[in-house]
Amino acid sequence: MRSFAFSSAENIEQAVSAQSDNAGEGAYIAGGTTLIDLVKLDVMRPAQVIDLNGLPLKEVEQLDDGRLRIGALVSNTDLAHHPLVTEHYPLLSQALLSGASTQLRNMATTAGNIMQRTRCPYFRDVAAACNKREPGSGCDALEGVNRMHALLGTSEHCIATHPSDMCVAMAALGATLTLEGPNGSREIAFGDFHRLPMDRPDLEHELEPDELITHITLDTPVVGGGSHYIKLRDRASYEFALASAAAVVAIEDGVIRDARLALGGVATKPWHAVEAEQALTGQPASNESFEEAAEIALAEAVSREHNAFKAPLARQAIVRALKHATQAAMNS
């Protein structure tokens, strides 16, 4: 961990201007669970670290239109256990609690989780070729040890997996991010925030260097929806997903009226399986429908030497998540 200057922002304006003054060479810190990890590995080398913890962004509130507004600094633990979340968005709670560990969830924030970076070992190793870390240097993962890598949204420049569980739930639930920059605030749909790697895997999202996420607003919950988050991994806890699925279904007379589906562990960004959702709508809530949706969701999968198993694994995750979500919908 090299040296850096440190400052604490007392308000949002100060946070934004601190970053502008640094020409984007600074880094915001909230929970620190990604930043400090990567600075220790010399993967990130900020000249300045700007502490955001003094900002008033720690509230969870229900808006008049029924949506849920979450402050950027709400910890993963507090969000997972918040009564409005456990009541209206149990999927989000489940996804949050399946991620990381108690300690990390206590530290990690909602916006920080959205900004967390890939676990690709070649990204984390400064001696390896990585287009995300060092644009144009190549990608050692393509022909390397790529069991953990992505199948969806990949390019010939990057196959790094997005590691978040929380974001998978948000992709399924639908959300809007509020960003604050030198020119004021703007909004962006959650699904548009993370970028596909394409030929610039270093550009991971739509946030400008001197912008800050201040809030995440969840769409209104699906009426009558049952949900389930399933995470498949090698050990039982405290590990990133090999494949995960977030599902919400609303059922009427045995027919799926509304479906939401997103995938984790298999894609370069939190993966909203839109076509699979469309295919489910209007179909009977049956295993056949679930399997059909799973086929559609993985239709574009591109596998590499060691990760081909993740396609069938992700299909299994989808089918099981839909099955449990259906049961939850029936019981609600």
Smallest gap from Cβ 34 to other proteins, in A, equals 9
Smallest gap from Cβ 171 to other proteins, in A, equals 20
* C-beta of residue 165 within 8 angstroms of C-beta of residue 95: yes
Smallest gap from Cβ 257 to other proteins, in A, equals 25
Using CA atoms, how far apart are residues 18 and 50, in angstroms rounded to an integer?
7
CB-based burial, 206-226: b 16+ in 10 Å, e otherwise: ebbebbbbbbbbbbebbeebb
Which lies closer to other proteins via its Cβ, residue 257 or residue 324? 324
Smallest gap from Cβ 272 to other proteins, in A, equals 21
DSSP three-state, residue 303: coil
Smallest gap from Cβ 45 to other proteins, in A, equals 6
Which lies closer to other proteins via its Cβ, residue 69 or residue 81? 81
Which lies closer to other proteins via its Cβ, residue 67 or residue 147? 147
Tokens standing for residue 291: 């399997």
For other proteins, the binding residues (CB under 8 A) are 1-6, 24-25, 29, 31-33, 36-37, 39-47, 49, 51, 53, 77, 81, 100-104, 106-107, 119, 121-122, 125, 127-128, 133-134, 140, 143-145, 147-148, 202, 204, 209, 230, 232, 234-240, 242, 308-309, 312-313, 316-317, 319-320
What is the layout of strands, in order, in the sheet containing 68-71? 60-62, 68-71, 212-218, 175-181, 184-189
Smallest gap from Cβ 226 to other proteins, in A, equals 18
User: Phi, psi (5° rounding) for residue 19?
Assistant: -75, -40
Which lies closer to other proteins via its Cβ, residue 69 or residue 320? 320
DSSP three-state, residue 62: strand
Q: Which residues contact 129 (CB under 8 A, 6 or more apart)?
A: 122, 137, 138, 139, 140
Which lies closer to other proteins via its Cβ, residue 133 or residue 215? 133
Which lies closer to other proteins via its Cβ, residue 190 or residue 290? 290
Using CA atoms, how far apart are residues 72 and 58, in angstroms rounded to an integer?
7
